[in-house]
Structure formats: C-alpha cells, structure tokens
Structure 1
Amino acid sequence: MTVQLNKFDNATELNAAFAEEIAQKLTQGIEQNGAASLLVSGGNTPKALFSVLKYKDLDWSKVTIALVDDRWVTLDDPASNETMVRQNLLQENAAAAHFIGMKTSHENAFDAVSTVTTNMQNIQMPFDVVILGMGEDGHTASIFPCCAQLDEGLTTKDLILATEPTTAPHQRMTFSKAALLNSKQLYLHLVGENKEAVLNQVRESNDERKAPINAFLNQDKVPMTIMLATSK
C-alpha cells in the first residue's frame, strides 16, 4: 500500500486541511456505526491542530478519544499528554466527546497494564482515525528503539503495554503496533524541516527496530497518510 504524502508550506495550512479531514472521517464513522473513535498523540506538535479541530461541527458526543500513548506521570505534571489533550482538544464543541485516559493510580506503569487494557477495550475498533507522531530517533507512540520492550511493542497481539525508554524520561503506557494497525486510517503528523529530514532518513531503511515508525510506513494493512508542514 502506497504511503500518501500531503505536504504543506506551513502548519496553519496543514491544520486547516487536517482538521477538516479528521472531522469528515469521524462523521463517516458515526453515520456508519453510530459512533467513532479517535486516537491522538501528545507532545507540542498537535496543540495547534487541536485548536482548530475542537471547533469542528460534528456530533462529538458520539466520539471517543484516547491517546496513542502517555507518560506515566500525574495529571498535574507538565509532561502529561492527557492534561495537554484536556486543555487543548476537549474544549468548545469537542468538550462533548468521551475521553479515556491511560494514567491510573498505580505508581508503576507495568502494574497497570491489565487495568488500562480493560479500560481501552471500551473504545470502538477498528479505530476510525489514528494520529501518530515521530521522534528524532524514529520512535512512534512509546515504542522506542532503545527500550527493552521494543520487540514486545512490535510483535505482541496485546492491546496495551508499558515501556521504559533509556533515552527519554518516564515510564510510558502505549498501544501496541498490532492495536494501532486495527484502524481504518493512520496519519503521521509532522511539522518542521528537522522532522522532514528524520522522515527521509527512516524511509531509506526498512528496519523497524532501528526506527519503529517504519512498522507503520512499511505495511499494507491500513491506509497511511503523512501530513507534513515544512515550517511552523
């Protein structure tokens, strides 16, 4: 399956087009199944997209939103992806959406896998839209090339796993490769010339262990669209 590349001059143009496309796909899911599911990524890149998406006119009450992954920190920690989503996406029209967070009261992420798995089984699958990000090391979700759980993340049939990268802080909770591929549409959301350079590097290789994003770029199960803005 060919990966589609949609390239924009700046993030403003990307966010307008991307938010409209996401809204259309969620609306299609609602029309077909009575509900729709959206998996989003954390970090700083999606904030501007969320600021547009949250105003889209659709039946958000029938949309369930979850994170692709999250850092195992409390919700008052600036590193919490859940808090970022609550502050930037679950507002305005999108405040009516149902959100399922990953963080539980467990101190250790590895002790919480069973609980998080149970919680996430309530999301309609296949997911209507999954939005991935990519790190400078080619990681996506919290499947890092440096972590001891790399092979598990790429091969397990389980929905959820905990990871502990050696090159980034915090334990993580993440959907597995298999779970993320149980979707109707994958997107890779990138902003900046540096991310474009990393993308070009990883696409030269088929090694998903060195750059786990390749597990999603080099597959023929789910349509994948790269949404790339060369500047902010």
Structure 2
Amino acid sequence: MTGSTDPRSTGARATPEWHEYSSAERLGAGLAEKLAAICVDALNERALAWLALAGGRTPLPAYRHLAGMPGIDWGRVVAVPTDERCVPHEHPACNLSELGNALHDANGISIITLTRPDGDAEASAMFAQRELNARAQPFDAVVLGMGADAHTASLFPGAAQLAAALDLQTHEDALRIDPDPLPPEAPFARITLTAKRLLRTRELHVVITGDAKRGVLERALASGDVHAHPIAIVLQAPQAHLHLHWSP
C-alpha cells in the first residue's frame, strides 16, 4: 500500500513505502535488517553511522535484533533517543536505560543522552541542544513510533511548546515539551528532537502495530494537519526516504 500527504504545511508531498509484516516479531526482524544495511552503507561512505531511535514496545525488539547482527563496527555507530522523559537516569521511566539495554550486545556503540543525570528539565534542554549542535550532520536513519493521539517522539498535540517544536524555521534541534494532559503512565516533562531535526535524515522509519494505529496514521497522511496529528509533519518529509512499517 502507498499513500501521500497533503502538502499544506511543508510545501512538499511524500510517497511513503509501506512494509507489512504478519507479526510484531517479524516487524522487528525486518526493521533490524534495514537498520543494519543503513549502518553498513554509512560506515562504508563516512566515518560513522548516526541514528536517532525511538523507545517503546514496538521498536525496542528491533534494536535487540540489530545488536546481534554481524559485520557492523559498533565503535563507529552513534545513537541518540528521539525523545526522553525528564527523570533521573536511574528512573524506570528513562528511555536511555531501555535503549541501552536493547543495544547491550552492540559492543562499542555510543549512545548520546538528551537529559542531565538528575533529569532537570531546563538544564536538560540546554544540554541536549549543545550535544546536537556538536553533531549537526544528517542522521543516517530516524526511527519513530506513534501514539494513539498521533504524537511522535514527544511532539504531543495540545502541548504549549508544540508549535515551536514543529516550526521548520527553528534554530533549535531539541526542546522541552510538557504534554497536556500529562500521560498518567508517564507524567513527566520531556525533551524532544524538533521536527526540523528529525527531518534532517537520509531515511525515516515509522513503526506501528494494530489496526487502530494504522487508522490514525492513514488519517494523518490524508489530513496533513500537523497540529492535530503531529506525526503528519514527518510523513511529509521531502528529502528523506520514508518507510512505514506495520504489523497486526
């Protein structure tokens, strides 16, 4: 299945490539194969491979598959979370810990944090911007999930900072976001990569499971309304090759 987005918000129209799998397990394996190929190609062409990786139940199994794949010089691979909850690094809700655990077998990989060790939101926002300023080159791949409300990374509809985070003219690579309302399962401020920084990539991979989320994604593709469906802004990426991965 292929689709396109309304170009009202970005002036561009993207044609995503759909990848459908029979199960979440097959999705994880398929995504891992694509990420492995991206890393190998990047390392053949450049000094390092540079990845932005979402957390969450859907993409994390793919990273475990990826970490076990041969032929990747992990010492030349750098990864950063697409977003992070403003909690201490030892907190169970910390995305950094989940990402590190999933990539445990990728010996030598560097994982860049977006937050200070104590999770202070304002200090973390400044810290994240400095870290990303030092690594301004395009990502080789960005992996994103999507919530039932069409948020991606921590670009939450209704957040006071959403317009700033969606602004494609911004000079910021990362911002603090306060979801409104705060999700009861994770009631924390976040640091998120901005839409502009997420779009500075060679490939975009959006991963979802279930018919309900597929419906949300297809409505976002059709509407292009980035404030109601923040995922729409990455679905409109004019420069990156856009992949949509789905399983029941």
In the alignment, which residue of structure 2 is the partner of 1:221? 239
In the alignment, which residue of structure 1 is the partner of 2:83? 69
TM-score under structure 2 normalisation?
0.87
In the alignment, which residue of structure 1 is the partner of 2:158? 146
In the alignment, which residue of structure 2 is the partner of 1:27? 40
Task: Output one character per residue of 1:141-177: Cα deviation in whole Å (capped at 9) or x when no partner.
Answer: 1111110001000012311111101122200001101
Change (3 A) 1:102 1:197: same
Q: CA deviation at 1:76?
A: 2.3
TM-score under structure 1 normalisation?
0.93
> Does structure 1 conserve the Cα–Cα contact (< 8 Å) formed by 2:28 and 2:61?
yes
In the alignment, which residue of structure 1 is the partner of 2:11? none
Q: CA deviation at 1:186?
A: 0.5
Q: CA deviation at 1:113?
A: 1.9
Task: Output one character per residue of 1:120-148: Cα deviation in whole Å (capped at 9) or x when no partner.
Answer: 23436210010011111101111111100
Q: What does 1:22-171 correspond to in 2, within 5 Å? A: 22-57=35-70, 58-89=72-103, 91-92=104-105, 94-105=106-117, 108-123=120-135, 125-155=137-167, 156-167=170-181, 168=183, 169-171=187-189
> Does structure 2 conserve the Cα–Cα contact (< 8 Å) formed by 1:71 and 1:173?
yes
Letter in 2 for 1:185: E
Q: CA deviation at 1:43?
A: 1.9
Q: 1:173 aligns with which of 176, 183, 191?
A: 191
> Does structure 1 conserve the Cα–Cα contact (< 8 Å) formed by 2:28 and 2:58?
no
In the alignment, which residue of structure 2 is the partner of 1:10? 23
2:209 counterpart of 1:191: yes
Query: What's the Cα RMSD here?
Result: 1.5
Change (3 A) 1:107 1:185: closer
**206-215 vs 13-22, which moves further:** 13-22
> Does structure 2 conserve the Cα–Cα contact (< 8 Å) formed by 1:188 and 1:225?
yes
> Does structure 1 conserve the Cα–Cα contact (< 8 Å) formed by 2:152 and 2:231?
yes
Distance in 2 (alpha carbons) for counterparts of 1:222 and 1:87:
28
Change (3 A) 1:146 1:67: same
Distance in 2 (alpha carbons) for counterparts of 1:82 and 1:46:
14
Distance in 1 (alpha carbons) for counterparts of 2:240 and 2:201:
7
Distance in 2 (alpha carbons) for counterparts of 1:105 and 1:54:
25
Distance in 2 (alpha carbons) for counterparts of 1:77 and 1:227:
30
Aligned to 2:38, the other structure's residue is in SS state helix
Q: CA deviation at 1:44?
A: 1.8
Q: Which segments of 5 or more consecutive residues in structure 1 lack a partner in the other structure?
A: none
Distance in 2 (alpha carbons) for counterparts of 1:27 and 1:9:
27
Distance in 2 (alpha carbons) for counterparts of 1:22 and 1:122:
23
Q: CA deviation at 1:18?
A: 1.2
Change (3 A) 1:107 1:72: closer
Letter in 2 for 1:116: A
In the alignment, which residue of structure 2 is the partner of 1:203? 221
Q: CA deviation at 1:105?
A: 4.0
